Amino acid sequence: MSSKLMMCFLVVSACIVAAMAHAKDLEDVAMVWYPSAKCQIEPEPGSPGSTPELAIEIDNLTDLFFAAVYQSNKEYQENQQSNEEFEPVCKWVRLKGYFRWLNYYHYMGTLTDDSGTHYFDPSSRFIIEKFGDDSIRRGELQARHVTIVGRFYNLCAAAERAEERSGEDWIIMGGPCHYGDDRGMMLTDVFVEDVHDDFPRYLTGEANRTLFYELPHYTEDDISALKSLTRRWADSIQQGIEGHAERSLAQDPETKNDEGERREAVHDIIVGRDSYTYYLNQNDAFQRLDVEKAPVVVFARGATASQPVRAVGCICMIEDCTDRWPVLDSDADNFLGAAACVDLAKEKEGRVWHWLQ
Q: Residue 79 above 70 pLDDT? A: no
Q: Judge whether 23 and 15 are in contact, CB under 8 Å.
A: no
Dist. CA 203–CA 198, nearest whole Å: 16
Q: What is the mean pLDDT of the chain?
A: 84
User: What's the confidence (pLDDT) of residue 12?
Assistant: 41
DSSP run (H or E) holding 266? helix 261-271
User: What's the confidence (pLDDT) of residue 181?
Assistant: 58
Place 122 in a pLDDT band, splitting at 50, 70 and 90: low
Nearest to 214 by CA among 296, 343, 301: 301
User: What's the confidence (pLDDT) of residue 42?
Assistant: 84
Helix (H, G, I), strand (E, B) or coil at 116: helix
Phi first, then psi: give them for residue 343, nearest 5 degrees.
Answer: -85, 130
Lowest average pLDDT, out of 41-45, 104-108, 256-260, goes to 256-260
Segments of the chain assigned E as strands: 29-32, 56-57, 92-101, 109-112, 126-128, 145-154, 169-172, 185-195, 296-300, 310-316, 339-346, 353-355
Stretch 310-333: mean pLDDT, rounded? Answer: 94
Q: Please give the share of the chain, as a percent, with pLDDT higher than 90.
A: 52
Segments of 87-246 assigned E as strands: 92-101, 109-112, 126-128, 145-154, 169-172, 185-195
Distance between alpha carbon 344 and the CA centroid of its chain, in Å?
19
Q: Residue 140 above 80 pLDDT? A: yes
| Contacting residues for 72 by C-beta, under 8 A, at least 6 apart | 89, 154, 156, 157, 160, 182
User: What's the confidence (pLDDT) of residue 21?
Assistant: 45
Q: Judge whether 185 and 127 are in contact, CB under 8 Å.
A: yes
Stretch 237-246: mean pLDDT, rounded? Answer: 97
Lowest average pLDDT, out of 49-53, 169-173, 181-185, 233-237, goes to 181-185
Q: Residue 82 above 90 pLDDT? A: no
Q: How far is CA 141 from CA 122, 124, 197, 200, 276, in A?
A: 19, 19, 9, 8, 13
User: What's the confidence (pLDDT) of residue 198?
Assistant: 93
Helix (H, G, I), strand (E, B) or coil at 129: coil
Dist. CA 278–CA 269, nearest whole Å: 10
User: What's the confidence (pLDDT) of residue 177?
Assistant: 86
Task: 20-24: list long-range contacts, CB under 8 Å, 24+ apart.
Answer: 20/171, 23/169, 23/171
DSSP run (H or E) holding 18? helix 2-22
pLDDT tens digits, 261-299: 888 989 999 999 999 999 999 999 999 999 999 999 999
User: What's the confidence (pLDDT) of residue 174?
Assistant: 81
Nearest to 37 by CA among 190, 191, 185: 185
Highest-scoring range by mean pLDDT, 9-13, 176-180, 216-220, 274-278: 274-278
Q: How far is CA 30 from CA 104, 114, 170, 246, 289, in A?
A: 22, 38, 5, 39, 52
Q: Residue 136 above 90 pLDDT? A: yes
Stretch 334-348: mean pLDDT, rounded? Answer: 92
pLDDT tens digits, 8-56: 433 344 444 444 444 445 566 888 889 999 887 788 999 999 999 999 9
Q: What is the DSSP letter of 149?
A: E
Q: Please give the share of the chain, as a percent, with pLDDT higher than 70.
A: 83
User: What's the confidence (pLDDT) of residue 88?
Assistant: 81
Q: Residue 234 above 70 pLDDT? A: yes
